[in-house]
Structure formats: C-alpha cells, structure tokens
A and B are shown apart, each in its own frame.
Chain A
Amino acid sequence: MELLSGADMIARFLKDEGVEYIYGYPGGAALHIYDALFRQEAVKHILVRHEQAATHMADGYARATGKPGVVLVTSGPGATNAVTGIATAYMDSIPMVVLCGQVASHLIGEDAFQETDIIGVTRPIVKHSFSIRHPSDIPTVLKKAFYIAASGRPGPVVVDIPKDMTAPTERYEYVYPKKVKIRSYNPAFRGHGGQIKKAIELILEARRPVVFAGGGVITGEASDALTDLAKRLGLPVITSLMGIGAYPQNDRQCLGWPGMHGSFEANQAMHHADLIFCVGARFDDRVTNNVAKFCPTAKIIHIDIDPSSISKTVPTDVPIVGAAASVLNEMLGLLGDREKDVTTREQQLAPWWERIDAWRASRAGRLYEPAAQGELLKPQQVVEAVHRATQGDAFVATDVGQHQMFAAQYYKFNKPHRFITSGGLGTMGFGLPAAMGVKLNFPEEQVVLFTGESSFQMMMQELSTCRQFGIAVKIVNLNNQSLGMVRQWQDLNYKARHAQSYMESLPDFHKLFEAYGFKAITVTRAEELEGALDEAFRDTNEMVFLDIHVDPREHVYPMQVPLGAMNDMLLSKTERT
C-alpha cells in the first residue's frame, strides 16, 4: 500500500493515465500540486503566459490527437482566465480536463483571496464538473473526469481542488483506478439495428443524396468507414467546417463544406438533395441559414452519439443514436449483402453528378482574381501557395475571421485531425496556442498558423512560451490592417462605416519577433511570396513569422444571404445566385 498526499496523487495519477504534457500557470491555491510536479519527471509542465493559452494549447493537442488535453490553473483569476478556452472546447466537443486550484475548504464562501466559484462560473460550458471533498477521492474523481471528457460526445471537465485537499502533511492510500463506473452515464455505442436498415434503404433509393459529415466523424475516428461507404455508393460528400479532413478533399466526390461561406457546389447540392445523410454534425445556424427554407426536398438521416443533437434545429426522418464508426461499419457490413444494388448505383446517380459537376464548373476559375506583379496579394492566393509549399500535409491552425474562412476554403485537407479551428465559439486568439499544442506533440511535422494581425495580438504573449520550450510554428499573418470579417459585414450592412474595425498603430512585427529571438519576413508584393515561403518552410524547427500584406478590400465569398435558403448566396461583390 502506497501513501501519498493529495498533490502527489494528482501527479501520480496523471502519469498513470499516460499524460505527457500539461499546460498551466501556478498560483497560491495550486502550489502544493506544483511542488508535487516539481518532484517528478514523467509529466512535463508547459508554462504559458496567460491561462487562456493553456486551455487552447490543450485544445490544439486534443484536436490533433483525439486524446484529452490537460490544464492546471490556480483559483480565482487563474480559473476565470481559462473560461474562454473551456467554452471554446465545449462548443466544439473537445476532450479536456481542467484542474483548478481553489481556496482551502474552510474559506470557501467567505470571499477569500483569489476565491471564485469556478464550478458555478463554468457550469453552462462544461460537460461535467467535480469538487474534491476528501483527498482520498482524488484518484476516482480524476478517473471519472478523464472518462467523461473523452467518451460519448467529448467535452471539457473541470475539477475544483481546494488547497487543503493537496496538503503535503496528509497522506492516503493511492491505487490507480483502471476503470470507473458512473451509474447515470452510459454513452450510446451501437446504433439501433432497425434504424440502420431503414437508413440503408433510404440511401439506396435516393436519387440526389449527399453525405454531410461533421466533427463527430473525426472525434469518433470514423473517417475510414465514412470514406469506404461513400466510395462504395458513389455518394457526394460535404463535410462541415469541423468535419474538414473527415473525407479527402482531393477526391472528386468531395464538394467541400457548406454554409455561410461554404462552397457554391456544397450549398447547391445540399439545397437540392432528396436525402441528407448526416454523420456527427449538428445543423448549426452557420450551416442551415434560414431553417424554414432549409433543404425543402430532403429527407434526413442523422447519426449522432448525442441524442440531443438530433432534431434540435431541423427535424430528422431517421435518427440513429450511436458512435459514428460503429454505425458506419455496421452499414458497410449490411451493404455486403446488397452487392447487386450497389453496382447499379452509377447509373442511378449519373444525372445528379451531372448537376453537381455543372455547379462546380460554373464557379471554377472565378472564385477570386489573383494579384499581378507589383500588387498586394490576395489572401486566397497566399493560402493556395502555402498549401503547395507544405504539400497539403501540414497541421493547419487558424484564428478567427476572414483568414480562417480563406484557410478552410483554399487549403485542401486529405486527413482528419489536421485542421485546427475554433468553429463553434469563434475564439480570436485561439490559433497561436492551439498551433503550439500541436507542434509540441508532433515536433517533426509542419505546423502552420493562419492568422490575422488582430487575432494574433490577442495571444501574442505566448511567443515567450515558444521561446522557452523551443516550439516552432510557421505563422502566416494575412495582414489587411483591419478586422477583416467585421469590416466585410460593415461594407455589406452598414454602408461601409468601419466602426472600430481598423487596426491603427500595429507593432513593427520584425522588431517584435526579433525581441523574442525569432525570424520575421515581410511580403508586400505578389512576386515576393514564393521566395518568402521557400525561406520560411525550409526548416521545420525554425519559428518564422510571415507578415504578408494582403488586399484589405477582399471579401469572403460565397456568402449566404441572411434569412435565405442554403443556396441564396452572394458570389462576389456584384454577383448573386
């Protein structure tokens, strides 16, 4: 029997759970835990410069690996600084465990120094939360936290740890709990057999089907099964923004992503479909546009591990509650017996593919006008050039705004877990720490951050963390000297009154990066781009900031018309569907 203090139990549990990195920032209420971490070597702690960055780093790691990211912060301001990152993870169903120090039990409720009811503050943005009430509970509670965070529909779990629970003087028996059972929590796994058969019938009958794959396919590690199924049946595949990479984008059957800034062909195909076969997406408002006009002729099959996602915004005809991989594999198995139906598919879907190809062809080569020599670059062509420079195989993180949409539109992903973006919450400042979390765990891979000068300045203090831990991210700053997406909306809806969307007094990024010991390259004209990219991507382990001045007048298109159907789109400043 081994006796450990609460703090040592936490350090030991993290090791036994296989956690390699935790991201955090010390403070009074967490000091016993920090001391325990100091006295061991298995779990490495990454010191951030702001707790929000710790949560985004853990989040980036979780998105790239599928495993829960772990954060350690102190009570009060440490915990409240983590809130935005917790909300970001919650909205995108990212597994995360956040350990928060708390004032000692006897002080709780007395407005003690650095006391915040963080369980209360985070209640609407966590999958679940725990307060430790006895040190001997620590191993079981932590196991439950990791289990809940990573299973079912993943999400962040907060564990509040009063300082006296980690006191070095009190020791209790420690046993690593290999398994844990929670009587009120049994996430669905296998889908209902009858519903699965019904879904197959609908798919085989459909004349204008589309697959709509969301982030659930990536978290559920179901990309292979989805790809097999779509290939086998010749189905057009649309992925949500969160589902990018769930199906290879270089494949002809992939139509891109739908919604507000989705591709023309994806929005047209979804609107005209007679069947939407949705796997692990949630039909949010940025996809559906006006729900009343959403896909008027489509029946909907919806596979989701979370029953509350089904029929939340649009009614579903065939709901299937289950894990994506399990349900899709079961479907593949059943299709094995239907070989005859499967082989006549090509003929059945030929007219549908003709229409899709026509939509695709109608926009080809007309998406944007690349800059000529001597001109300011277009942001879209920068993304395309970065895609070429990285052979389309980098991990790509983004911040939020126009650059995020351009990155999603023009970087083509062929693998899951590679596109790291804050889709649901739309958190500016997410990108740099998220990219750092990825790079730390994939040191040999190229990790690119597409950002804008506004988003970047929200978290740029983390350059210091990059320096301390030798984290090398390729930062592509699409510098338009404005809050591009805000400016775009102001152009369209406020007669170009640019209220507070112009970033005056930008820092000299060269000097800024130099101060941290990093390289910066500025590109102001189109012809400088290729050379700059060659230089920037030469060494995977060199931090480089590419400050690329782009045309600030550029808008993101297509753009759905507010209150319209999916296929009501602005296609450029002058064209509309």
Chain B
Amino acid sequence: MRHIISILLENEPGALSRVVGLFSQRNFNIETLNVAPTEDASLSRLTVTTNGDERIIEQITKHLNKLIDVVKLVDLTEGAHIERELMLVKLKAVAGAREEIKRTVDIFRAQIVDVTPSAYTVQITGDASKLDGFLQAIGPASVLEVVRSGVSGISRGEKTLSL
C-alpha cells in the first residue's frame, strides 16, 4: 500500500543524504521525495511517498525515527490528510489541438502559464491521481516534457507536525 510519510528534519548538511541513504541501504522504495525549508530556519520538511506492507512501513518509520537528524515524523496516510503535487507539462499545441488542449486544461482546472505558436506549458496541482488523469486525457502524443514536484501533504483538522 502507498504511504505518505512527512518528516521534520534538522536543516543540517548531510541530513538529507542520511534519509535517502537509509532507503537504499535497507532496500526500501522511494516513489516521490519532496524537501524544502520551513518557517523555522533550523528545520526542513520532507515528504516521502513509499510502498510496502504494514511490516515494511513500520520498519521504515522506525528506522527514520532512529536517525539523529530526524526530529519528528508522521505517516499521513494513517489519518485524514490533504495531498498535493504540482506538475508542469510542456505540450505540443498546433492547429486544432490547441483548442482541444485548452478545453482539457479547463476541465482539470489547470492553467496555461506559457504559450508559443506550437507549444503550451501547463501548470496543474492536485493529488497524484489527478495529475496522472490529466496526462492520460491529453494523450502521450502531445506531451513534450513533464516535471512533477513530488507529493507534499498535511493532515486535516487541528493536528500539526511541529516541535
């Protein structure tokens, strides 16, 4: 099963490599990885999506917690949560396809953020399956380039992951 693990990490050199190294060292899988600073300059927030049965996810969270640089973590998929990913897609857009793409962009509530006579660059946010759905609707023939941010997430309600 797919899990989204959200981590508060010491903003120290080498801290990220310890997290990434742990996954390869223990043969765990990383599907997406997203990392950026937080409002507290000493901490980074890191979101990993991974796959595995209950036993493997338990091992992943235990081993992550064991890293000295990991301050706190939560498996967001254990409760209600919001999941978002940003995708930028460059699409071949010529002649009649331009209108068709524009319609699909509207249906998915995406935005065209750059235009040339033969290409559109589209920005779309949502959960991973929405992004997959958009690419499917457009069809592989028009897709020139895809950039995805990886998933970031936050729990619903008043629960927070903070110090």
Contacts and interface: CB of A to CB of B under 8 A. Distances in A.
Contacts of A340: none
A129 B70 CA distance: 14
B65 A307 contact: yes
Contact of A308 (B17, B25, B63, B68): B63
Given A307-B62, A311-B58, A185 B14 contact: no
Sorting the interface of chain B by its residue count into under 10, 10 to 19, 20 to 34 or 35 or more gives 20 to 34
B66 A306 contact: yes
Contacts of B62: 307-308
Contacts of B17: 120, 123
A128 B68 contact: yes
A499 interface: no
Contacts of A119: 14
A218 B69 CA distance: 28
A574 interface: no
Given A184-B69, A308-B59, A311-B58, A123 B21 contact: yes
A185 B13 contact: no
A124 B21 CA distance: 7
Interface in A165-200: 182-185
A182 B25 contact: no
A129 B66 CA distance: 14
B86 interface: no
A199 B71 CA distance: 31
Contacts of A120: 17
A140 interface: no
B25 A131 contact: no
A124 B20 CA distance: 11
A129 B67 CA distance: 11
Nearest to B24: A124
Contacts of B58: 311
Interface string A94-131: 00000000000000000000000001100110011101
A211 interface: no
B70 A184 contact: yes
Contacts of B65: 307-308
Interface in A308-334: 308, 311-312, 315
A148 B66 CA distance: 12
A129 B69 CA distance: 10
Nearest to A129: B14
Contact of A184 (B21, B55, B59, B68): B68
B38 to A, nearest CB: 15
B148 interface: no
B18 interface: yes
Interface string A124-166: 1001110100000000000000001000000000000000000
Contacts of A127: 68
Contacts of A308: 59, 62-63, 65-66
Given A119-B14, A120-B17, A131-B13, A148 B68 contact: yes
Contacts of A312: 59
Contacts of A128: 68
Nearest to A315: B55
Interface-central residue, A131, A184, A185, by most chain B CB under 10 Å? A184
B24 to A, nearest CB: 9
B5 to A, nearest CB: 15
Contacts of A307: 62, 65-66
Contacts of A183: 71, 163
A184 B69 CA distance: 7
A184 B71 contact: yes
A148 B69 CA distance: 12
A152 B58 CA distance: 20
Interface in A33-80: none
Contacts of B71: 183-184
Nearest to B68: A128
A131 B25 CA distance: 22
B25 A124 contact: yes
A224 B13 CA distance: 43
A62 to B, nearest CB: 20
Interface string B125-163: 000000000000000000000000000000000000001
Nearest to B163: A183
Contacts of A315: 55
A184 B10 contact: yes
Interface string B66-90: 1011111000000000000000000
Contacts of B13: 131
Contacts of A306: 66
Interface string B1-35: 00000000010011001100100010000000000
Nearest to B63: A308
B62 to A, nearest CB: 4
7 contacts: A128-B68, A129-B14, A183-B71, A307-B65, A308-B65, A308-B66, A311-B55
The 7 closest A-B pairs by CB, nearest first: A308-B62, A184-B71, A128-B68, A124-B25, A307-B62, A308-B63, A185-B68
Given A123-B18, A183-B163, A312-B59, 18 more contacts: A120-B17, A123-B17, A124-B21, A128-B68, A131-B14, A182-B68, A183-B71, A184-B10, A184-B68, A184-B69, A184-B70, A184-B71, A306-B66, A307-B62, A308-B62, A308-B66, A311-B55, A315-B55
